């Protein structure tokens, strides 16, 4: 779906997972700042709601594509879609991703595999495929990591692993892309309430989470301004900055033992029977 009248807007942002949660808030903030948004997300109710929401914003320029990013040929489909609309994004927001909390063995291998594909492989592949366009438009890339990337978190092992990849990959890529005048920023939010898993985590953390938790709309302006200003690491909000600072202050063995204790409620879970790895 698109608002064709507005396709002539000068700068466009391609946002993955822009139909819900943080991606939705980032997309709406882009629109607020006069940018056009090209949203790729799963073809379902969330995307339809987002289309309705965008249609109701006067002057909003948008384009949507319902697509499973981990499906066969997804990146090629995005390139075709952009080409058909003659659209060359200035910015790329690699936001789509998900995590699971709990005992390591309680997430299925299939889910871990999809998590690693979506959180890491899709991000790299999309950036790789879009690079010729980004070299032309000379904008920037915003990659979604998490404050958890640099902790890291027991009981969220694979997720924090994927986010540590995003963090290091983004900082390294930033230095390479300097030569092309393309900025690379990495966004490291704290806990944001967007879905069931977030709620589960808040319950597991108790009072601590109630203090630390934010809503997607709260972090979007700082995130988008950081991207537009080419900031390297964006840690939205005072508490996230404090968490990152404290994380560096504590010696690693003490920090990890403490984090394990905070999240040890997950040990009360029943251990699932692991599905066989194909
Ligand atoms: N929430 C937090 O506490 C938090 C903190 C730090 C970092 N992050 C990161 O921020 C990003 C967004 O998280 P969120 O909490 O906003 O998640 P969310 O509310 O679940 O939204 C994720 C978005 O990605 C889309 N999506 C999921 N799988 C997809 C696929 N295979 N193909 C295409 N689109 C797909 C979703 O579509 P549907 O809505 O249709 O499923 C949705 O639009 C993730 O990378 C996450 O790791 C989250």
pLDDT in tens, 134-157: 999 999 999 999 999 988 899 999
Q: Is the CB of residue 19 below 6 angstroms from any atom belonging to ligand 1? A: yes
What is the pLDDT at residue 278? 54
Which atom from ligand 1 is nearest to the alpha carbon of 114?
31
Ranges of H-type helices in the chain:
21-32, 45-55, 74-84, 109-116, 122-137, 157-177, 196-205, 207-212, 216-228, 238-249, 252-262
Confidence of residue 39 (pLDDT cuts 50, 70, 90): very high
Query: Domain count of the chain?
Result: 1
Selection from 67, 63, 57 nearest residue 28 by Cα: 57
The protein residue with its alpha carbon nearest to ligand 1, atom 2, reads 192
Selection from 209, 234, 231 nearest residue 220 by Cα: 234
What is the pLDDT at residue 40? 98
Confidence of residue 53 (pLDDT cuts 50, 70, 90): very high
CA 43 to CA 252: how far, in whole Å?
Answer: 42
Q: Which of 15, 23, 54, 75 to mutate to test the pocket of ligand 1 (most atoms within 8 A of CB)?
A: 23
Q: Please give the residue range of the domain that contains residue 76.
A: 2-274
Does residue 124 surpass a pLDDT of 80? yes
Q: Is the CB of residue 42 below 6 angstroms from any atom belonging to ligand 1? A: yes
Dist. CA 195 → ligand 1 center (Å): 9
What is the pLDDT at residue 6? 55
Selection from 135, 166, 162 nearest residue 233 by Cα: 166
Dist. CA 107 → ligand 1 center (Å): 17
CA 4 to CA 18: how far, in whole Å?
Answer: 19
Which atom from ligand 1 is nearest to the alpha carbon of 50?
43
What is the CATH number for 197?
A: 3.40.50.720
- Residue-by-residue DSSP string for 100-134: --S-GGGS-HHHHHHHHIIIIIHHHHHHHHHHHHH
Q: Is the CB of residue 161 below 6 angstroms from any atom belonging to ligand 1? A: no
Q: Which of 14, 15, 18, 20 to mutate to test the pocket of ligand 1 (most atoms within 8 A of CB)?
A: 20
Selection from 159, 232, 216 nearest residue 17 by Cα: 216
- Residue 234: its H or E element: strand 233-234
Q: Are strands 140-144 and 91-94 parallel, antiparallel or unpaired?
A: parallel
Confidence of residue 276 (pLDDT cuts 50, 70, 90): low
């Amino acid at each position: 779906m698109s608002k064709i009248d507005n396709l002539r807007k000068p700068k466009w942002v391609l946002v993955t997972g822009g139909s819900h949660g943080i991606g939705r808030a980032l997309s709406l903030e882009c629109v607020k700042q006069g940018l056009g948004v090209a949203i790729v997300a799963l073809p379902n109710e969330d995307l339809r709601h987002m289309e309705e929401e965008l249609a109701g914003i006067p002057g909003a320029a948008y384009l949507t594509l319902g697509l499973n990013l981990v499906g066969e040929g997804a990146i090629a489909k995005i390139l075709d879609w952009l080409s058909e609309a003659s659209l060359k994004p200035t910015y790329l927001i690699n936001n789509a991703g998900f995590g699971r909390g709990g005992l390591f063995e309680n997430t299925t291998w299939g889910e871990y595999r999809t998590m690693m594909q979506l959180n890491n492989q899709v991000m790299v592949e999309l950036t790789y495929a879009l690079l010729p366009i980004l070299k032309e438009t000379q904008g920037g890339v915003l990659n979604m990591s998490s404050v958890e990337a640099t902790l890291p978190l027991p009981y969220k092992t694979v997720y924090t692993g994927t986010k540590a990849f995003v963090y290091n990959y983004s900082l390294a890529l930033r230095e390479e892309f300097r030569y092309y005048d393309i900025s690379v920023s990495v966004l490291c939010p704290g806990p944001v309430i967007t879905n069931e898993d977030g709620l589960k985590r808040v319950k597991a953390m108790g009072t601590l989470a109630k203090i630390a938790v934010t809503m997607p709309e709260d972090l979007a302006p700082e995130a988008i301004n950081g991207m537009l200003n080419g900031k390297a690491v964006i840690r939205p909000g005072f508490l996230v900055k404090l968490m990152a600072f404290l994380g560096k202050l504590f010696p690693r063995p003490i920090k990890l033992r403490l984090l394990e204790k905070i999240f040890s409620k997950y040990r009360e879970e029943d251990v699932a029977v692991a599905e066989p790895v194909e």
